[in-house]
Homo-oligomer: A and B are copies of this chain.
Amino acid sequence: MPLRINAARLLSDLTHLSQIGAGQDGALWRVAGTKADRAGRDWLDKTMRVEGLHTRYDETGNVFSRREDTTGPWLLIGSHADTVPAGGHLDGAYGVIAAMEVLRTLHEADHPLADHVETVAWFDEEGVRPESAGGLVGSTALAGSAHVDDLVGYLEIHVEQGRRMEEGGLDLAPVTGIVGVRRYRVAVSGQENHAGTTMWADRQDAGRVAARVVAGLKDVILAVDPKGIGNAGVIGFGPGAANVVPGTASAELEVRASSDTALDDIETALEADLSRIAAEENCAAELVRVSAKPAAHFDRRVLGVVDEACRGRGRTDHLLSYAGHDASVISTRLPTAMMFVPSTGGFSHSHKEHTPDGQLVLGAQALLDAVLKAAPMLLARPGSSVALAA
């Protein structure tokens, strides 16, 4: 008889965690490092301290659970415990609780793989704190620690945070990789001038350059990569008066694509676009790359196992993740893959975050199925000291 997760416990634990750090509208305020975040992790710690399981904090703040007195190696499963300000109750938390449910199911069944599965609740994925340098703090710390050598792979389940699954009628989606993300600062320098007496031809309107680049961003990206995504979230003109032609302007652009090659091509196109527009407006401009997270491509064999697990449990299709996840960092050190469950309406980072209970249960079950297939495969790898039959 196939192993089944405890659906009632999964949903109950999710409800419990969603009450820690909740505001009146249900939005969650478990920003990494806050009291609420610590209370959430302490609750995870306490909840996993059952007979035969061992829980520990590492020095970064990640919370790990595994069977007592095991020596590994382990397949790591989990997600992050923190939220953005006014975040949702599923982003991160669902993957943590689902992983806990998988380990507890294996442990209670006394399945031989129970000794080779470890769960993690990552510290500070979101990167809200100024000192967290863009987030993924806990996974980055693990990737650079000795413990990574005790692990054979990593699996993470997460809510999609978009509408593709809902629109496509999908229950589960193996995630093939995570987009690379680059951020840029556009800095334009023109000539501040009287907005009435300076004729169009005499202007060096820095604001027009920034507005045209922002307005054109979508077309520039799509011309290079039909699956590319971008955003202009910040803009400003100086000196900022209705009757003064802007002498300076700035904007922040973000670009996401499935490969670093695509990101390079988009960057080249953006630079050309900015140069052309700046020349047309008699301004000087530069595109400064502020940050770059490389694209992640998940392990083909692990992805194959996840695909099999998903197909066995519902309607499924492969997706690329347009949001960053700890799996992206871990994939640089370990065979890694992810799976998504749908986000109703695509809402995320919001109290409107929602996934139907049935799909939450289906996802946790598929994660267990994937662990049951992936762990033996990964433990049997050359160089691994353990071999177990599926």
Name which residue of chain B comes closest to A230, CB basis.
B195
A124 contacts chain B at the CB level, 8 A cutoff: no
A232 contacts chain B at the CB level, 8 A cutoff: yes
Which of A181, A208, A243 neighbours the largest number of chain B CB atoms within 10 Å of its CB? A243
| A196 touching B240, Cβ below 8 Å | no
| B208 touching A196, Cβ below 8 Å | no
- Distance in angstroms from A197 CB to nearest chain B CB is 4
Interface stretch among A109-117, A209-217, A375-383?
Answer: A209-217
| B229 touching A199, Cβ below 8 Å | yes
Q: Chain B residues near A194 (CB, 8 Å)?
A: 161-162, 323, 348-349
Which of B210, B232, B243 lies in contact with A254, CB distance below 8 A? B243
Q: Please judge, given known A-B contacts A211-B214, A215-B215, A234-B237, whether A229 and B196 are in contact too, CB under 8 Å.
A: yes
Chain A 166-189 near chain B by CB (<8 Å), digits 1 or 0: 000000000000010101000000
Q: Please judge, given known A-B contacts A194-B162, A194-B349, A211-B211, whether A218 and B234 are in contact too, CB under 8 Å.
A: no
Which of B202, B214, B243 lies in contact with A346, CB distance below 8 A? B202
A163 contacts chain B at the CB level, 8 A cutoff: yes
| A197 touching B231, Cβ below 8 Å | no
Q: Chain B residues near A256 (CB, 8 Å)?
A: 195-196
How many residues of A are counted as interface, with CB atoms below 8 angstroms from the partner's CB atoms?
Answer: 56
A358 contacts chain B at the CB level, 8 A cutoff: no
| A200 touching B229, Cβ below 8 Å | yes
A40 contacts chain B at the CB level, 8 A cutoff: no
Q: Chain B residues near A324 (CB, 8 Å)?
A: 196
Q: Chain B residues near A346 (CB, 8 Å)?
A: 193, 197-198, 202
Q: Chain B residues near A215 (CB, 8 Å)?
A: 208, 211-212, 214-216
- The prevalent SS among residues of A at the interface is mixed
A207 contacts chain B at the CB level, 8 A cutoff: yes
A236 contacts chain B at the CB level, 8 A cutoff: yes
A53 contacts chain B at the CB level, 8 A cutoff: no
Q: Chain B residues near A7 (CB, 8 Å)?
A: none
| B229 touching A234, Cβ below 8 Å | no
A241 contacts chain B at the CB level, 8 A cutoff: yes
- Distance in angstroms from A298 CB to nearest chain B CB is 17
Which of B161, B202, B239 lies in contact with A197, CB distance below 8 A? B161
Q: Please judge, given known A-B contacts A233-B245, A235-B211, whether A322 and B240 are in contact too, CB under 8 Å.
A: no
Which of B218, B233, B240 lies in contact with A244, CB distance below 8 A? B233
A242 contacts chain B at the CB level, 8 A cutoff: yes
Chain A 300-343 near chain B by CB (<8 Å), digits 1 or 0: 00000000000000000000011110000000000000000001
| B196 touching A323, Cβ below 8 Å | yes
A78 contacts chain B at the CB level, 8 A cutoff: no
Q: Chain B residues near A163 (CB, 8 Å)?
A: 198-199, 202
22 residue pairs of the A-B complex, CB under 8 angstroms, read A160-B197, A161-B196, A162-B199, A179-B196, A195-B233, A195-B256, A197-B323, A197-B346, A197-B348, A200-B218, A200-B229, A207-B214, A207-B235, A208-B214, A208-B232, A231-B242, A233-B245, A234-B237, A234-B242, A235-B235, A235-B237, A243-B254
Known: A162-B198, A200-B222, A208-B218. 18 other contacts (CB 8 A): A160-B197, A162-B197, A179-B196, A195-B229, A195-B254, A196-B321, A196-B323, A197-B323, A197-B343, A200-B229, A202-B346, A207-B214, A208-B232, A232-B246, A234-B241, A235-B235, A236-B236, A242-B254
